[in-house]
Amino acid sequence: MTYAIEVRNVHREFKQSGGIVRLRRPVRAVDGVTFSLPAGDVLGVVGESGCGKSTLARLIMGLLPLTSGEILVDGRSLTGMDRRERARLIQPVFQDPFSSLNPRHRIRDIVGLPLASQGDMPKARQVDRVMEMLARVGISSEMAERMPGQLSGGQRQRVAIARALVLHPRIVVCDEPTSALDVSVQAQILNLLTELRRELGLTYLFISHNLAVVEHIATEVAVMYLGRIVEQAPAQELFRTPAHPYTRALLSSVLTPDPALGIPDVGLGDAYPDPTNVPPGCRFHPRCPSAFAECAVTMPDNIRKDGRLVECLLATTS
């Protein structure tokens, strides 16, 4: 079986620049990630801020070199793939619509750029495709003439989505695609992404902090903590029976719109993770409410069972 994406034991480290020179250790942003995603699936990636989700996304898009490991797209290694070909296969929607749109270009030119740089579509068809895409994400033809600075935050993110979809790529890597959007536009965009996935057979890697959104759109969910996937399962199973203590903490921190309830105490303490100083044993043990003595020494195995992965000693011993 050929997967849309295969990620094999991928690592990425960053050199540190701040702090005392003698104490500088590398930032282990992605620390041994493995997964494979069949075409047409949506992998939701969730996890703590700073745990390496965007770095993973950038590695998959070939925007950052790997420290070690291998990534295959459509069965072929990313290393050495031609840029134009890569652009036809994978397109990004970034977390930050403010810095990802060129402030000196008109909206319609920004969305048209991926088509123009492929160089194989007549100009008139390019314009049609751009206007059609903009209309689909809810940007009027009047707005298409503006510069990014003249749009609101949400309007700019819709433009970024139009730009990613204009080439009808196979895989779309969405890094927080709806976090800048109000709920009504978010609903429109999620419906649109779902529709396009069905129509065009797209595969999504979908990074989001909004668990309700992930539950809604993902077929499979990976939970990351400090550079690793600590739990992965089909979406419904993961939300119904979260197995890793970090996943449980995450799910219990979701703020449902109930004014009778306050802000929950997450119960993870304040020993926040430091990617330059990964704890021995289970990397979650200093904060884990279920940790026992062995967790501080033995690194839990990375076992897949019945299509489910849980990197926790509780799961492997029982």
Partner 1 sequence: MTASLQDPVLSVANLRVSIGGRTEAVRGMSLAVARGETHCMVGESGCGKSISALSVMNLLPRGIIRTADHIRFQGQDLLAMSERQMSRLRGDKISMIFQEPMTSLNPAYTIGSQMSEVLERHRRAIRRQAMDRAAELLARVGITAPGMRLGQYPHQLSGGLRQRVMIAMALMCDPELLIADEPTTALDVTVQAQILRLLQKLQQELGLALLLITHDLGVVARMAQRVSVMYAGEVVETGAVGDVFAAPTHPYTRGLLDCIPVPGKTQTGEPLGNIPGMVPRIPPGFAGCGFRDRCMSAAPECAQAVPLRDAGGDHSYLCRLPPDWTRASAA
Ligand X SMILES: Nc1ncnc2c1ncn2[C@@H]1O[C@H](COP(=O)(O)OP(=O)(O)OP(=O)(O)O)[C@@H](O)[C@H]1O
Give contact residues for Mg ion (rule: CB under 5 A).
54, 153
Nearer to ligand X, 74 or 109 (CB): 109
| Residue 75 binding: pick among partner 1, ligand X, Mg ion, none (C-beta 5-8 Å cut-off by kind) | none
| Binding-site string for ligand X from residue 20 to residue 49, where x marks contact by CB under 6 A and - marks none | -------x-x-------------------x
With CB under 6 A as the contact rule, the residue among 245, 249, 268, 275 that binds ligand SF4 is: 245
Smallest distance from ligand X to CB 182, Å:
5
Cα separation, 216 vs 208, whole angstroms: 12
Q: Of these partners, ligand SF4, Mg ion, partner 1, none, which one is at the site of residue 312 (CB under 5 to 8 Å by kind)?
A: ligand SF4
Q: Which residues, including other chains, have CB under 8 Å from residue 195's CB and lie 6 or more apart?
A: none
Cα gap 289→297, rounded to integer Å: 16
288 binds, among Mg ion, ligand X, ligand SF4, none (CB under 5 to 8 A by kind): ligand SF4
Structure tokens given for 18? 């701040």
Site for ligand SF4 contains 249 (CB under 6 A): no
Regarding 313 and contact with ligand SF4 (CB under 6 A), the answer is yes
Which of partner 1, ligand SF4, Mg ion, none does residue 209 bind to, with CB < 5 to 8 Å depending on kind?
Answer: partner 1
- One character per residue 133-172, x = contact with ligand X (rule: CB under 6 A): ----------------xxxxxxx-----------------
Least distance to ligand SF4, CB of residue 290, Å: 4
Whichever of 12 and 197 has its CB closer to ligand X, that residue is 12
Rule CB under 6 A: which of 48-77 touch ligand X?
49-55
Cα 257 to Cα 102, 239, 254, 267: the distances in Å are: 36, 18, 10, 21
Residue 191 contacts which entry, partner 1, ligand X, Mg ion, none (Cβ below 5-8 A, type-dependent): partner 1
C-alpha torsion sign, points 213, 214, 215, 217: positive
SS (H, E, C) 262-280: CCCCCCCCCCCCCCCCCCC
Q: Using the rule CB under 6 A, is 177 a contact of ligand X?
A: no
Nearest residue (CB) to partner 1, 89 versus 134: 134
Q: In the range 84-103, which residues lie near ligand X by CB under 6 A?
A: 95
Helix (H, G, I), strand (E, B) or coil at 40: coil
How far apart are the C-alpha atoms of 224 and 7, rounded to whole Å? 14
User: Residue 206 in contact with residue 42, Cβ under 8 Å?
Assistant: yes
Total residues binding ligand SF4 (CB under 6 A): 13
* Residue 169 interacting with ligand SF4 (CB under 6 A): no
Candidate residues 290, 297, 304, 317; the one interacting with ligand SF4 per rule CB under 6 A: 290
Q: What distances in angstroms separate CA 81 from CA 60, 62, 70, 72, 261, one per listed residue?
A: 12, 9, 13, 10, 51
Three-state secondary-structure class, residue 39: coil
Residue 90 Cα distances to 191, 286, 300, angstroms: 20, 38, 33
**10 near ligand X, judged by CB under 6 A:** no
Distances (CA, A) of 95 to 157, 236, 265: 9, 25, 27
User: What does the alpha-carbon distance between residue 207 and residue 175 come to, in Å, rounded to a whole number?
Assistant: 5
285 binds, among Mg ion, partner 1, ligand SF4, none (CB under 5 to 8 A by kind): ligand SF4
Please say which residue, 62 or 300, places its beta carbon nearer to ligand SF4.
Answer: 300
β-bridge mates for residue 6, sequence order: 36, 72
Site for ligand X, rule CB under 6 A: 14, 27, 29, 49-55, 95, 149-155, 182, 275
